[in-house]
Structures are given as structure tokens and as C-alpha cells.
A and B are shown apart, each in its own frame.
Chain A
Amino acid sequence: MPDFLQYMGNVFEPFNFLILLLGTAGGLILGALPGLSPTMAVALLIPFTFHMEPTGGLILLGSVYTATVAGGAVSAILLRIPGAPANIATTLDGHRMVQQGRAAQALQLSFLSSGVGGLLGVLVLIFFTPVLAQWALGFGPSHLFWMAVLGVTVIASLASDSVVKGLAAGCMGLWISSIGYDGVQGVHRFTFTSHLDGGIHIIAALVGLFAVPQVIDMLARAPGRSSAASVQRHSLWQALRQVAGKPRTLAIGSVVGVIVGLVPGAGGQIAGLVAYDQSRKFSRMRDNYGKGEPEGLIAAETANNAMVGPSLVPLLTLSIPGSPTAAVLLGGLLIHGIFPGPDLFTDYPDVSWTFIDALLVGQVLMVVLGLALCRLAAKVILLPENYLAAAVMVLAVFGTYSVQNSYSDVLIMAVLGGGMWFLEKYGFGAGPLVLGIVLGPIAEQNFVYGRTIATAGDGVLPYFFTGTLNVILIAIIVASIAGSVALEIRARRQREREAAS
């Protein structure tokens, strides 16, 4: 019997299961609120696990992590405010579906595909951990640099108005990301006020760029209810069939999520966007992406959750946290005297396997609870917009503050938000901007880091352009750009044809 089944019973002990249930439900709610990210939720819960048994503490952290990632889709879909950077791609088709009255369907599809991706991710964690850990170590600065560049190519897909505007917005994001103290080079850049010393935190940016413009738009429409003030019923059975009918989308989403999750420091944030972009390129429905196409939603959510399990591989086997959330989990493990590393599963089999089993069961619970809450959650958009706008604004302030206990972040959030409202009116998208802010540091820092190593070695060009992994990544980038160009040309031809006829 495989090890993980042997310890499955521990998860269902009354106390452990209760924690799992509470963690999943609480995580869904926290994740669904704008401005509350998985990292923050897990970080704020660490002190609680302090006084618990290691197993219970880990189950709580694991279930909250799982559920907040999935819950982030709720506000992304309903309000077009992503709960975490991972959910940006979810807003594209998800919110369109809401505007078409398909809120219930969008939430159902989102939870179901989250479950598929999440389960696959945990299974990868269970069966391939030792192999993948070594593989993840092989990723150096040059590869991370190319992965960031691959992320930048996605911008073209996000630009709704025109590609040039999308690229301009992406550059704005990349430039904004260079504000603040840079620990690698030991310099303060553009910090004309001390509020900017810490740089632009991604959550502050995300909340500002998405939530504030939404609040202003809601006020502009108030009083009354949103244009999408109807929620059509949608049968769960149909939703299941729709998800099951998209094996290719599920596969693309899972593979992208697993790979991006595995690589330490790649910023799992972009998994959803990359999967969305790739899935669009391979899809027959590509012209519908961005117009409320369920496939886009499925791709994004599968990838987001597929990332969760693999993102723990470097942490559990090498004691190396690959993502901010994993770094927080490491603290939670060490407090209980559990040292992650190659011997983790032999030294503490009961704790570690129970934790992983809890992740597995947590994925299932997350889907069940999420689906049960769907109808209720969808009703949020039926609330009068004055209340909705006021609540989102107040939450934005509280949520942004609690990420780093910093009021500077709140001010940054508000300034970026006000600016974004104008930019959005002029056809510049928030998506490319946030993507730029996420990818800027990964691209720059890894380039600088890699260049320093390369200068001491064989030179910069061979370091970045030779080696199997570099070549594969560059090939994917070239293919991705070619795909985008082809899509663009096709779309233009079609427009011309339509104009002619």
C-alpha cells in the first residue's frame, strides 16, 4: 500500500477533520475577499498553529492555502477584482460571463476546474517529489529570466483595445516595479518619498489597480443595481459535463501550473496567465476568449490550483521555499521542530503524510464547499451598488494594510488606483500593468544575478543562450510570439472581410 494511503485515516480523525473543514471554509471566505492573498492568510495564521499539535497546525495551514487560492476566483469573477495575482486571468472571461448573467455557471466551472488542477498538483507532489526536486534545482538565473520574458509575451493576449497600448501598459508596470530599495544592487531607486522605500508591493498594486477603478465605476452607476443584476440558474451536472468535455484545456492548465509551480522563484502568480494564453493559441474557440468563453476560465483556474502541490516540492525535500507562501509554511514547520529535507518523510512520516493527505482531501472539500456556496456568493452582485462600492473600498484599505502592516502600502494602493481609473478610461488595461509589476523584478534581478555569475565564468552570451533548458525556453518564447502574431493577423483579416461584406 502506498505510504500516503496508509496515513489517510489520520485526516479523518474528528479533530483533524474539523480543522480541515474550518480551514477550508475560512480559506474560501478569506480568498474571496479583495486584497486578502493566500500568503497573507497563511502568514497571519502561523501564530495560531504555534499552540497546536504539529499535525493539526499543518492541516490548518495546508487547507487555508488550498482554499484561499481557489477562493480568489470568486471576487475575480463576480467583481472583476482578483484576490491574488494568480486570478488575473480568471477575470478576463469570468467577469464577462457574470455580465451575461452566467455568474452561477462561472463559479461552478471555476471550482470544478480548480479541483481538477489541485488534485493533479497534489498527486504530482505525492508521486514525483524526489525526481522533481533535483529537476527544480537545475533552474538557474538565466532560466528564470527567460521564464519572465515568456510571461511578458502574454501581454499581447491581454491587451483588449490595441496591442501597442497593451505593450505600453506592460512597460509602465515593469518600470513601476523598479521603484524602491533593491537589495541585490544595494540602491534606492525613485524613492522621492519614504513611502516608496519598500517598493510597490504586488498586493497593494493589485488591489489598487483592480478594486479602486471598480469602486469608482460602481459609484458612477449608483444608485441601483449592477448591469449584471441577474443570476441564471445553472445545473451542476451540466457544469461537470462542460469541464469534462475540455480535456485539452485541463491538460494545458495542469501542465503549465505544475511546471511554473515547481520552479522556485518563478512567481507562481503567472501560471494562470500563461495557461490562458497557451490554451487560447491551441483552441478552436480562440476568437471567443475574452468574451465570456468558459474555456478561458477553466484554463486559468486549473493552472492556478495545479501550482499549489508542486510549489511545495522544493520546500519539503530541500528545505527551500520556492514561493512566498512556501516561505511562510517553512516557518510554520520549524516552529514545531520539523525540519523539511530529504529525511522528512522517513523521520516524520505521520506528520508529513497526514499533511499531504489533508491537501488531497482539502481539494475535494474545497470543491464541495465552493459549489455549495456558489448560489449564495453569486447573489453578491445583486446587492445595491452603493453598499458594494463602500464595502470594497473599506476592505481594500484593511486588506492592503494587513499585508505588511504598512500605511504606505495603503497610500500607494490609492494613488495607483486613482491613476488606473483614468488609464482604463483611455483603453489601457490593468492586466498588462500588474503583469509588468510581477515580472519586472524576476526579469531584472535574475538578469543582474546571472550576468554577475556569467562575467566570472564564460561570458554573458553563452550563459544566457546555451544549454538545453535555455534553448527550450527561448524556443517556447519564439513560438509563443509567432502564435500571437498569427492570431493578430487572422483577426485583422477577419475584420477586413467583415468590413468588406
Chain B
Amino acid sequence: MKRIADVMSTSSGDVLAFVFALVAASASFAGDDPAAYAFPQLISALMLIFCGANLIRRSLARFAGEPVLTMQLAGKIAPGGAVIVVYVLFAEDVGFYLSAILAFFALSFLYGEHRRLSSIGIATGAVVGVLYLMFSVVLKVQVPREFFL
């Protein structure tokens, strides 16, 4: 458990940023049209320099950093994160309003203090009602609807 917490320390963030810079740079320099890729190439080179400098600074400091993502925190946000991922993946196919009801209900239930179904239900109804009024009635946005409304 402690080991995972160590992996997610501040210095590993610097490593990750450097890896992102590497990926961006390799994608930019792989482009076949030199004129069109000049800007991304310049920027990704700068990004590599800054991320590299950041990494060197960190290793000189010989300080691994505070653990950022502890197991406790990961466990705390995991269910909510899962709800959000499922919500975003399927909202278009399920329909915006039905998925909003499910997501809102799930998030406020999982992270609620008292978990009284009635109050969570009322809150869900109120929020989705306001969403419907605003987007479908006032602004006339055509949001995806499959099974509901």
C-alpha cells in the first residue's frame, strides 16, 4: 500500500509531464508536412526543455515529494470517478436527461451525509428540472434523447 502512495508522489508527476512532452514531440516530429508542423515542433521542443529542467531540479533536490495520491484518497474518489466515467461514456446513447438523473442521483447518494432517499430524489428532480427548463425550453438546445423525453 505504501509503495503505491510513493509512486504517486510529486516527483512522479514531473516524470509523467516529461513523458507527455516526449510523446507530443515525437508526434510533432513525425508529421510529414514540415511547414504545417513547424509550430507544434517548436512548442514541443520547448515543452521538453521545461519539463526536463523541472525534472533535473527535482532530482537535484533529492526529495521525492509529498505523496499526492494516497490509497485512502484513491479509495475515496474511485466510486465517484467510476460514476463520472460511465456517465460520460454513455450519456449520448442513453439520452441526456435520463443519464443526468442517474448520474446526479448516484453521485449525491454515494457521497451524501445522511443518504435519505427522499431528499436526494427531490434534489435530483429539481436539478434536472432546471436543466430541462433552461436547455430545452429556454435555449431550445437539441440534446440527445433516446429513451426519455
**Whole-angstrom distance between the alpha carbons of A185 and B28 in the complex?**
16
Q: Contacts A168-B47, A175-B47 hold; do A407 and B107 have CB atoms under 8 A apart? A: no
B residues adjacent to A (C-beta < 8 A): 10, 12-14, 16-17, 20-21, 24, 27-28, 31, 33, 35-37, 39-40, 43-44, 46-47, 50-51, 53-54, 57, 68-69, 73, 76-77, 80-81, 84-85, 87-88, 91-92, 96, 100, 103-104, 107-108, 110-113, 123, 127-128, 131, 134-135, 138-144
Q: A390 CB to closest chain B CB, in angstroms?
A: 4
B68 x A426 contact (CB < 8 A): yes
Interface residues of A in 184-220 (CB under 8 A from B): 185, 187, 189-190, 212, 215-216, 219-220
CB <8 Å contact, B91 and A410: yes
Among candidates B12, B50, B131, residue contacting A398 with C-beta atoms closer than 8 Å: B131
Q: Interface of A with B (CB < 8 Å)?
A: 26, 30, 41, 44-45, 47, 162, 164-165, 167-168, 171-172, 174-175, 178, 182, 185, 187, 189-190, 212, 215-216, 219-220, 222-224, 384-387, 389-391, 393-395, 397-398, 401-402, 405, 407, 410-411, 414, 418, 422-423, 425-428, 440, 443-444, 447-448
Extra contacts, 4 of them, besides A394-B104, A423-B17 (Cβ < 8 A), are: A175-B40, A185-B35, A223-B111, A393-B104
Chain A residues within an 8 Å CB radius of B10: 426-427
CB of B80 within 8 A of CB of A219, answer yes
Q: Could you tell me the distance in whole angstroms from the C-beta of A68 to the nearest C-beta in chain B? A: 12
Contacts of B141 in A (CB 8 A): 44, 398, 401-402, 405
User: Are A386 and B36 in contact (CB-based, < 8 A)?
Assistant: no
Cβ of B107 and Cβ of A386 under 8 Å apart? yes
Q: Do the beta carbons of B113 and A386 come within 8 Å of each other? A: yes
Contact A168 B111 (CB under 8 A): no
Cβ-defined contact, B131 with A425, below 8 A: no
Q: B17, B57, B84, B91: which has the most chain A beta carbons within 10 Å?
A: B84
Contact of B31 among A165, A189, A427 (CB under 8 A): A189
Pairwise interchain contact B84-A398, C-beta atoms closer than 8 A: no
Asked if A389 contacts B17 (CB within 8 A), the reply is: no
Query: What B residues does A427 contact at CB under 8 A?
Result: 10, 13
Please give me the residue from chain B that is nearest to A401 by CB atom: B143
CB distance from A435 to the nearest CB of B (A): 13
Contact present for B73 and A164 (CB under 8 Å): no
Contact check, B87 vs A178: say whether CB atoms are below 8 A apart. Answer: no
Report the bound CA distance from A176 to B85 in whole Å. Answer: 22
Beyond A386-B112, A426-B14, whether A219 also contacts B76 by CB under 8 A is: yes
In the complex the two chains form, is B33's CB within 8 Å of A398's CB?
no
In the complex, the answer to whether B113 meets A164 with C-beta atoms within 8 Å is: no
**Cβ–Cβ contact A189 & B36, under 8 A:** yes
- The reply to whether B50 and A425 form a contact with Cβ atoms under 8 Å apart is no
Tell me if A185 and B16 are in contact (CB < 8 A): no
User: Contacts of A444 on B, CB cut-off 8 Å?
Assistant: 39
Tell me, in angstroms, the Cα distance from A426 to B11 when the chains sit together. Answer: 8
Q: Which of A45, A190, A220 contacts B27 (CB 8 A)?
A: A190
Bound form: Cα–Cα A347–B128 in Å: 47
Q: Contact between A164 and B76 (Cβ–Cβ < 8 Å)?
A: no
* B57 contact set on A, CB distance < 8 A: 162, 164
On whether A410 and B88 interact (CB within 8 A), knowing A168-B50, A189-B31, A386-B111, the answer reads: yes
Cβ contacts under 8 Å, B100 to chain A: 394, 397-398
Give complex CA distance A48, B148 in Å.
26
In the bound complex, CA of A500 to CA of B128 (Å): 57
Closest chain B CB from A202 CB (angstroms): 17
- Contacting residues, chain B, for A220 (C-beta < 8 A): 73, 76-77
Contacts of A185 in B (CB 8 A): 33, 35-36
Q: Which B-chain residue is minimally distant from A402 (CB atoms)? A: B141
A-B contact pairs, 27 of them (CB 8 A): A30-B134, A44-B141, A45-B139, A164-B53, A164-B54, A167-B46, A167-B50, A172-B47, A178-B39, A185-B33, A222-B112, A386-B110, A386-B111, A393-B84, A393-B103, A394-B103, A394-B128, A397-B88, A397-B96, A398-B96, A398-B141, A407-B92, A410-B91, A414-B85, A418-B81, A426-B68, A440-B39
Q: Is the CB of A174 within 8 A of B43?
A: yes
Q: Among the listed B51, B73, B84, B127, which residue makes an inter-chain contact with A391, where contact means beta carbons less than 8 Å apart? A: B127
B20 to chain A, nearest CB (A): 7
